[in-house]
Amino acid sequence: MVFAFLVISGCATSDGPDQGTVIPSEFEDDIVFVSPMLLDGRVLRFYTDSGGGFNAIKRSVALDIRAESVAADVETVDFPEFVDSASIPANPVFRNGQLQVVDEDMLGRDYDGFLGGRWFANRVWEFDYSNERLTLYDELPDDLTERMTRLPLGFQVDDNGIRTMHFPSMPISIDGEEVHVLFDTGARATLTENSAGYFRRRIGESIGASFMCEDVFDRWRAEHPEWPYIESADSVRGSAFPMIQVPQVSIAGIASGPVWFVKRADPSFKEYMTQFMDREICGAIGGSGLQYYQFVIDYPAANLWLRPRSD
């Protein structure tokens, strides 16, 4: 039996019709969480990931909210109802706005749910890493992107021209080479004994990261032994992957850095992720690179607008 949460259209506090709606959020180690408040005052915490494939809530959380109507075999539930002053929008694209119910071990211990690419889809979002603010717009305001540079994004579409997974592709330039990657706000590295001390974090904690396929990563390592490198730095399901710090990344001609990239096997992106993209990709740009910008991603128009962050 599916329990009945109401879906509301309002979300968070608004500064006016042209100023967008500020979403309750937390920027932690270049990872963005949203933290809406339930009607009873409890705050839920969702991991956000533009490169993620589902929108989900932990079964234990769903049971805690509506224990009388959540059966063990429930697969989806309606979006919760939040207070107007600290709300987030439901997802209108995937599963009719519902959340997938998942077991505890599918998500991290420090958050209650997960919001992926189809939650971000068809909307206009401003990410301000300087002020740690996430803002949602109904449509792109005329003056929002002044003094910003535009970068067109690519989306896979089906035979009817409808977008599939809503995963944006984009080019970045590193060491004179252009590489197409996934726009991936949720890319992260889970720190190991080798890497935790370097980042002054505890083993098992996560930080925003970026990914690169092995052939490019290995070439960087061979051609630039001076670039900082950590062996077995990112722990993933019993395996550990190295990280390398690239001194400079250029996005839409705007250079920034340094940026940490985690090595991933070629098939992870060139085969698996590419099947959901408009082109072959070789990695992902996440928080370790995006942190240097203030940017607006306009999903309807397939544009990324950006400028260097203000601080």
85 belongs to a structural domain: yes
pLDDT digits (tens, 9 = 90+) for 38-69: 999 999 999 999 999 889 999 889 888 865 55
5 belongs to a structural domain: no
- Same domain as 157, residue 234: yes
Q: What CATH number is given to the structural domain containing 275? A: 2.40.70.10
* DSSP letters spanning 57-97: EEHHHHHHHSGGG--TT--EEPPPPB-GGG-----SSSGGG
The confidence score (pLDDT) of residue 11 equals 45
- Same domain as 173, residue 119: no
Task: Calculate the average pLDDT of the chain.
Answer: 90
**Considering only CA atoms, which of 51, 98, 58, 104 is closest in space to residue 78?**
98
Domain count across the chain: 2
- Is the confidence at residue 92, as pLDDT, over 60? yes
7 belongs to a structural domain: no
- Is the confidence at residue 3, as pLDDT, over 50? no
Q: pLDDT band for position 151 (50/70/90)?
A: very high
239 belongs to a structural domain: yes
- Is the confidence at residue 72, as pLDDT, over 70? no
**Considering only CA atoms, which of 157, 150, 161, 153 is closest in space to residue 180?**
153
146 belongs to a structural domain: no
pLDDT digits (tens, 9 = 90+) for 116-146: 999 999 999 999 999 999 999 989 998 999 9
- Same domain as 265, residue 120: no
Q: Which residue has the higher pLDDT, 156 or 310?
A: 156
Distances (CA, A) of 138 to 37, 98, 126: 21, 21, 12
What residues make up the domain containing 180?
151-306
Distances (CA, A) of 278 to 108, 191, 224: 30, 32, 31
What residues have CB less than 8 Å from 68, skipping those under 6 apart? 3
1 belongs to a structural domain: no
- Same domain as 198, residue 52: no
The confidence score (pLDDT) of residue 14 equals 44
Last residue of a domain, one of 98, 113, 137: 137
- Is the confidence at residue 189, as pLDDT, over 70? yes
- Rounded to 5°, the CA angle 27-304-156 comes to 105
- Same domain as 164, residue 101: no
Dihedral sign (CA 258, 262, 266, 270): negative
The confidence score (pLDDT) of residue 71 equals 55
- Same domain as 160, residue 227: yes
109 belongs to a structural domain: yes
Q: What CATH number is given to the structural domain containing 97? A: 2.40.70
Whether the Cβ atoms of residue 200 and residue 217 lie closer than 8 Å to each other: no
Using the CB atoms, write b or e for 198-215: b if 16+ within 10 Å. ebeeeeebbbbbbbbbbe
235 belongs to a structural domain: yes
- Prediction pTM value: 0.90
